[in-house]
């Protein structure tokens, strides 16, 4: 194993042991570092400022958010190398610090959500009902009704669901446990699906090798969207999570409550939704403030 490959592995092991980094986070770091290693000819761990300064020339076609992530990955890696004594200086000050403009999250309209659930309801009214339809109902109730991440949903255990409790206990990013409220409608949908799952199964959504994968979940969601007449490119489990957040804010929820429901450790992550909250606040001022009822231009 080359020095780069060996030190990248040690760095990733540190992230797991010290920060509890998720599989998705580790995969992103690995990709960024391995690509940089290839660009530098396998000399990333010994690269000087001149070599590091050349890296951004390979990122010209990438979005600012991706460039910022790659720069962050490399800064953290070089900091690790210095701290662990693998090199004596940190060249990451040669990396760019692009202004990061966060794009608004993709979401779905209330009408599109209604179409998705209407098709499920029609399937549940059929006799005999198909197990795949019952599973689909449980999946959509949890993704849109509770805002679960894809990884959280596929990793749900049967023991996470109890019929008399209005919440789930799930493990989110960094293996942190959090409580997720679950509606009565979702409990019914999940309970109905549980009846189709062998009681010996550990997972709520099992497969032949464990639980269904995130890739299979994406496929299930997109297949259903196509049947409902919605462009599959518009939807994913994460888009349903965004729709959950967006529609809650439109209904009057505040950002702090949303932060808790989404499992964000930092409110700044939740603030991507402030465009919705701000619009609601403007409407409140324009239509609910006492001065808005007075005609001052007489």
Give the active site residues.
149, 173, 238, 241, 264, 273
Q: 């949908």: which residue's tokens?
A: 189
Q: What does the alpha-carbon distance between residue 232 and residue 226 come to, in Å, rounded to a whole number?
A: 6
Q: Residue 139 is encoded by which pair of tokens?
A: 């999946």
Structure tokens at 226: 């196509």
Closest CA to 80 of 5, 6, 35, 15: 15
* Spatial distance between the Cα atoms of 241 and 250, rounded to a whole number of angstroms: 14
What is the DSSP pairing of strand 177-181 with strand 167-171? antiparallel
Q: How far is the C-alpha of 170 from the C-alpha of 160, rounded, in Å?
A: 7
8 A C-beta contact, residue 3 and residue 45: yes
Count CB atoms within 10 A of the CB of residue 264: 18
């Amino acid at each position: 194993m080359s020095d780069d490959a060996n030190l990248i592995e040690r760095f990733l092991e540190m992230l797991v042991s010290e920060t509890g980094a998720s599989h998705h986070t580790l995969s992103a770091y690995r990709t960024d570092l391995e690509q940089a290693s290839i660009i530098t000819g396998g000399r990333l761990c010994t690269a000087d400022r001149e070599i590091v300064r050349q890296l951004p020339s390979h990122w010209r076609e990438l979005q600012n958010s991706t460039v910022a992530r790659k720069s962050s990955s490399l800064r953290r890696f070089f900091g690790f190398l210095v701290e662990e004594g693998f090199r004596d200086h940190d060249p990451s000050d040669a990396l760019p610090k692009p202004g990061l403009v966060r794009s608004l999250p993709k979401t779905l309209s209330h009408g599109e959500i209604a179409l998705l659930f209407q098709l499920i309801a029609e399937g549940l009214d059929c006799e005999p009902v198909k197990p795949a339809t019952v599973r689909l109902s449980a999946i959509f109730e949890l993704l849109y009704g509770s805002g679960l991440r894809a990884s959280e949903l596929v990793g749900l255990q049967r023991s996470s669901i109890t019929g008399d409790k209005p919440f789930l206990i799930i493990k989110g990013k960094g293996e942190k446990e959090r409580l997720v409220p679950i509606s009565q409608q979702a409990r019914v949908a999940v309970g109905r699906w549980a009846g189709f799952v062998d009681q010996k199964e550990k997972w709520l959504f099992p497969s032949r090798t464990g639980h269904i994968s995130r890739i299979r979940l994406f496929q299930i969601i997109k297949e259903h969207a196509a049947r409902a007449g919605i462009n599959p490119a518009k939807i994913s489990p994460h888009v349903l999570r965004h729709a959950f957040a967006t529609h809650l804010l439109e209904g009057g929820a505040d950002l702090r409550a949303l932060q808790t429901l989404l499992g964000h450790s930092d409110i700044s992550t939740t603030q991507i939704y402030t465009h919705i909250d701000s619009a609601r606040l403007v409407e409140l001022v324009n239509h609910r403030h006492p001065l808005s009822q007075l005609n001052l231009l007489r």
